[in-house]
Structure 1
């Protein structure tokens, strides 16, 4: 609790690349968190005979960044170098691993790196208690292997719709809850022993010390779920992101937003930056990381979409000017007031899935130009979420209680129930 800054850190780390018929871009932002605990991997052309294969992953660390950072550098080698992954290979052979070998090798790689990190002195003696989720894709010429351990998520967008999504590993899921209870633990407030919000993760060795239980039978398991999907010409893009993104956008919302942004820019770093900015403005208080992998059939820049987007920007700029001029007689309005007015209006052609938050940077730029001496106001939502209600709302966010990503709606239900009881 309370591990938040007074003002979000909005500087972004970006990278991009291309190869094997793929293009990728990524963005990460610390946001409101005191520390940046996310990490990522992007490899086009896997070493040691798999040059036509690629690997991308996002790691969402908690209680520190040690495990996430180590995995981002070494998980791939633990996967591709183990005997299960290479089981069908013969010396000098150019044959690729079979589907079953790949899936088995990925699982073995996770278990091996988790066992290996346990021997790090700071993790062994309890000086570092960090852990990390991991979500990734291994892309071969024929298959996409989706890999998930924790509550980060990957989605495949194919033929204009969400075709596949990994499933979050939450303690309240029946299968996860059964394992936790069999290991002598409990699930309280949707957390392992009332503390950890994920039921599978790398690291987190405080939850992996039950005598007589194997590594996949512990309170928290390092075992990933691996699903293979045949590639298709209709494949458009894959999104990998931590829960700082998914907490405020559904699978469909994020994919529709990304699709709309790809139609106005082919700069994948810029598209990813738009995503993290939009999620920040939608109320995400966590670190945010996204990797966007585009296939050859990904949406292309459309002259019509570019024109409509420019017209929308122009409309918002003029509308903000009107609001501020009208309010100027009574004093310069704060940014929250401007946002509230725009939110109440039916503005056409806002980015699908992003809404007004997807254009917040445009609004803020105009506001700052017209009111250059304004004091830092923080997020407009912060003023509305002050007092007891704001503290309760933030507590729900920190506890990661899932309610369709809408913490405010859950809080309203809880308060209504309390009033009725009184």
Structure 2
């Protein structure tokens, strides 16, 4: 029942979101008639880290996501790494600019110049870097007439001793340690008490969980229309560019992987679900890029209509390919193929055979062997392939029967 309620609430929020987009002139034209499923793929390695990334435009009319992935920073920071996902809205200008320049602003602080690492100094340097970046972009936006765009940002700065999670908006990052979620960032929604207080103090309102009934996040880079209250400071505006920065000590024997993803992915997965899904897929391939591809495909089939970007960063303790896991997956695929065959025959006898009907029947059955977090949607390719083989075989048999019964 609790799962049903969560799904119902998520669907209501999605529909409200579409309603507001339509009111702002972002209605049907903001979505395509069919999703664009081509993926931007990337992988890399540096030091003790390796990462994979996949990004997909999906149903959106434009791709507005961007990212930064540096598994090994240059020069004196060669033992450090930086990963970030930027989710643009109302255009991609801010997200793309951040992907190119934000890291430089972050590491420009004195906290990165000394021989020793001070977590408090690093956190403050990150915060100041974000604020400088926002001021820099605001000046450029005025001078160059930028579009009225904004972007969320979620990042992880990896040092030899610590992990620094940086969050601004509703993209999200998590850490899997010893097989479970140990930490994840919390979305900046306008309805959170602290966010609501700042918005109302700046003369705004929170309506249906949105800033002035329009913007769904309370912190972001860009969005300068929401940062024009003259009597308020930079971090006291309707929308704040100030990130929340969290520091965790590393556990080299237990840290497995990081996941960074935009809200298009989180529309389809909850935090625990995505962690368990990624871990289960790493046991099959050991390849973070392949896992990210599967996350996006599954998210699309689970109903996400937004741009999707997912990045998986593996530590040395990340799961590798497991023969036992591969065997379980082969058995699951064989079981699903068998079920599809049985359902196809039953539905054919009822005169109502279709792929949708097959999925509906499969979804009504409890199957604990399905990938955790991904469910039936993550096995869509197996089901479609089995269905198509049966359909083509049936059509061939019908064609053969009609030919054999035809007069010479």
What is the TM-score normalised by the length of structure 2? 0.86
The one of 305, 314, 339 aligned to 1:294: 314
Larger Rg, first or second structure (1 or 2): 2
Q: Does 1:111 align with 2:131?
A: yes
Aligned residues: 365
CA contact (8 A) 1:46 1:54 kept: yes
What is the rounded CA distance, in whole Å, between the counterparts of 1:335 and 1:128 in structure 2? 43
CA contact (8 A) 2:190 2:196 kept: yes
Q: Aligned runs of 1:237-316 on 2, under 5 Å?
A: 237-316=257-336
CA contact (8 A) 2:140 2:146 kept: no
CA contact (8 A) 1:84 1:108 kept: no
The one of 52, 56, 62 aligned to 2:79: 52
Q: CA 1:144/1:127 → structure 2, altered by over 3 Å: closer, same or farther?
A: closer
Q: CA 1:218/1:115 → structure 2, altered by over 3 Å: closer, same or farther?
A: same
Q: CA 1:329/1:150 → structure 2, altered by over 3 Å: closer, same or farther?
A: same
Cα offset, 1:321, TM superposition? 2.8
The one of 183, 191, 202 aligned to 1:164: 183
2:359 counterpart residue number: 339
2:284 aligns to what SS in structure 1?
coil
The one of 194, 199, 215 aligned to 1:196: 215
Q: Does 1:13 align with 2:40?
A: yes
Gaps of 5+ in 1: 90-94, 374-422
1:45 aligns to what SS in structure 2?
coil
CA contact (8 A) 1:244 1:288 kept: yes
Gaps of 5+ in 2: 1-21, 23-27, 394-408
What is the rounded CA distance, in whole Å, between the counterparts of 2:390 and 2:149 in structure 1? 45
2:57 counterpart residue number: 30
Q: Output one character per residue of 1:277-312: Cα deviation in whole Å (capped at 9) or x when no partner.
A: 111111111111111011111112111110010111
What is the rounded CA distance, in whole Å, between the counterparts of 2:146 and 2:72 in structure 1? 37
What is the rounded CA distance, in whole Å, between the counterparts of 1:213 and 1:76 in structure 2? 27
CA contact (8 A) 1:57 1:136 kept: yes
1:144 counterpart residue number: 163
1:350 aligns to what SS in structure 2?
coil
1:133 aligns to what SS in structure 2?
strand
CA contact (8 A) 1:84 1:104 kept: no
Q: CA 1:124/1:149 → structure 2, altered by over 3 Å: closer, same or farther?
A: farther
Q: CA 1:348/1:179 → structure 2, altered by over 3 Å: closer, same or farther?
A: closer
What is the rounded CA distance, in whole Å, between the counterparts of 1:141 and 1:99 in structure 2? 12
Structure number with higher helix proportion? 2
1:18 aligns to what SS in structure 2?
strand
Q: CA 1:41/1:272 → structure 2, altered by over 3 Å: closer, same or farther?
A: same
2:97 counterpart residue number: 70
Cα offset, 1:96, TM superposition? 4.3
